[in-house]
Structure 1
């Protein structure tokens, strides 16, 4: 059924793009365990005398049980992002004469099918331009990390510009995609409790007791949910900014380019640090953080400041370095939560990756077998939090 509805959508897109009698080739593609909520396809639309149209489609494949545990309309978020938010961002960049090289790079949107159980979004196929995803089993390196946070800084700066220049419109948009924590609280509590057990099962003995005490007294779910509350300075965050949701390539002159994708988890946060910490703790190992953590944090703020200035905003007024550093101290525990919650899935072996097509609910994420890389990556994060003195 999904393939039939996809082909109909592609036929409509081909017609909109002046293909009269095209040959349409649809091929399924694998993400090797990096994507578990969607079926992915590459599409080629061909017609004699016309340039081929290369497309990429993402079809939601989430079962009824998991859908019942999620708010209605959650699967329509990405369409709203491409049709409304990202177009608004482009308008803001044009209005402020932001140089082309300093603008946020995003894939071209072609269309969607919002019908329940057929939810599909169609974008340009970045793969034919040489873009690929980073190997999720490898730690990010400095060049990749630096470029990734540059893109992230542009994304956040545009959110801030939207908030500052169109406050009522921004407020309405935030309300439309607002995180409904009450609907998730029960499921999240269950998942988090199980994730803590998984974490403690691989924690080095020298840290286990103190980590367990810290998680029981300092990093409970109530504390975590505060990060998603509507704040004084709201920022629209990607929500799942990790290497598997970024596309990158090297150009002919050796320049690295990074494009964020998968905007279905966008949410309002009290600080852009939620995205930055998410990226760091899902994509790096202990060695990288020992060598580059503070440098990457500083690089991000420099890029955010630069992006704000291109949008005619003053960083010292909008989000000063002092406020940013204060937020970093407040939000740093969020990185440990992200590692606890995400690393079992980020490092899962391909054959053990959970599927959202079966009959199970969110418990499929806690029952999945952890990969061989998981103990090393998790203990690396735990070592950081002891070394930084956050856990004593």
Structure 2
């Protein structure tokens, strides 16, 4: 089974030991007596489910002052200990500072705003412990025992997608209101995925559009789009970078919120009721949150959550559903400022169409590959050959054949 997990998650670091967990449990349970009897460590996720951290699941058997034989399951997220691309990718980043701030300050603040209007939505799993020294680490309550599960496939069905979008719309609306009312803490989040130097300069990102164009040149019905794609390729990454940082640019225009930043299916955990119906979705992984255009989260989700058929045939419905719930939440929050119109979200989609092209050309082939094979993320980020083969996926090619003419007709390629 070792090949199913990231190599750096097969053995936990030595500091994840009994004294460490006893300290964590004492803090969580507000007691001075905890004795850990046994620790069972395992990888928390499968290979390819995440890259910007190292994650373990710890099942603890322990005694407290009042009871013996207690058990608790924890999720530990920390930095890589092994030299390599992942360590280089993360060592200069702010991802742990971002996620700690999100769990300790921002998410509780958002939930408090929702409680004022009688909305009991839970926006994030419970964070039990965090530190930046001597190790960067965050420990969460394991929500699998509470009935939450990740999707076994890359894509979500329509019900699941709307459930995730509803929660995102509420999150976005609360942040929109607070920022408009002068809360400057939200604009401190400035480090989205395009702020990671190792991401933007990686072989995977740098070659994505080139490899996409090369594949289009071999497909008869897509050859006509190649000249326009070549013209776009020259500054595509620069424009994406500008989109992510557009709030901080002069004369910024748009609907700005605190974005999740990594809104994809593996960062969602779904819970069903006794009838098998979707009861809740929990968004996880807040390492890449940033203040920017709301539509970027939606575009990201369009290509990392939805099937190609849903994306083609229900895009307007999806955006209408999200934006109408965004606006409805603002009304419920008794927001006194200027309300965005649903039409403005569609204008935003066109304004940031270059990011949609990036997602289709660079991220989408990866997510198709995840459905049928186990991919080593580090090899993908660093090996030109590893990325090139992804463009031969037949389902991906069929999806591009559907989407590229639509993008052309919308004016995205101009």
TM-score norm. by structure 2 comes to 0.80
CA distance 1:365–1:55, shift in 2 (3 Å)? farther
Report the secondary structure of 1:85's partner residue: helix
Name which of 2, 5, 10 aligns with 2:15: 5
Name which of 279, 287, 290 aligns with 2:309: 287
Unaligned stretches of 5+ residues in structure 2 = 1-10
- Structure 2 distance, partners of 1:21, 1:189, is 45
* Residue 331 (structure 1) aligns with: 352
Task: Confirm or deny: 8 A CA contact 1:66 1:362 kept in the other structure.
Answer: no
* Residue 214 (structure 1) aligns with: 229
- Structure 1 distance, partners of 2:129, 2:152, is 29
* Residue 33 (structure 1) aligns with: 48
Q: Deviations over 1:103-129 (max 9, x none)?
A: 24310001124247x432211111112
The alpha-carbon deviation at position 384 of structure 1 amounts to 3.5
In the alignment, structure 1 residue 234 sits paired with structure 2 residue 256:
yes
- Structure 1 distance, partners of 2:263, 2:162, is 14
The alpha-carbon deviation at position 189 of structure 1 amounts to 8.1
Task: Confirm or deny: 8 A CA contact 1:14 1:22 kept in the other structure.
Answer: no
The alpha-carbon deviation at position 228 of structure 1 amounts to 1.4
In the alignment, structure 1 residue 259 sits paired with structure 2 residue 282:
yes
CA distance 1:290–1:113, shift in 2 (3 Å)? same
CA distance 1:387–1:6, shift in 2 (3 Å)? farther
* Residue 132 (structure 1) aligns with: 149
CA distance 1:217–1:72, shift in 2 (3 Å)? closer
- Structure 2 distance, partners of 1:22, 1:115, is 23
* Residue 158 (structure 1) aligns with: 174
* Residue 390 (structure 1) aligns with: 412
CA distance 1:391–1:285, shift in 2 (3 Å)? farther
Report the secondary structure of 2:178's partner residue: helix
- Structure 2 distance, partners of 1:64, 1:44, is 29
In the alignment, structure 1 residue 345 sits paired with structure 2 residue 366:
yes
CA distance 1:29–1:212, shift in 2 (3 Å)? farther
How many pairs align? 379
Q: Deviations over 1:186-219 (max 9, x none)?
A: 9448644410132234333321341452342376
**Alignment RMSD (CA, Å):** 3.2
The alpha-carbon deviation at position 352 of structure 1 amounts to 5.0
In the alignment, structure 1 residue 318 sits paired with structure 2 residue 318:
no
The alpha-carbon deviation at position 259 of structure 1 amounts to 0.9
TM-score norm. by structure 1 comes to 0.84
Structure showing greater relative contact order (alpha-carbon pairs closer than 8 Å, 6 or more residues apart): 1
Q: Which moved more, 1:177-186 or 1:299-308?
A: 177-186
- Structure 2 distance, partners of 1:205, 1:159, is 46
Report the secondary structure of 1:6's partner residue: coil
- Structure 2 distance, partners of 1:207, 1:85, is 45
Unaligned stretches of 5+ residues in structure 1 = none
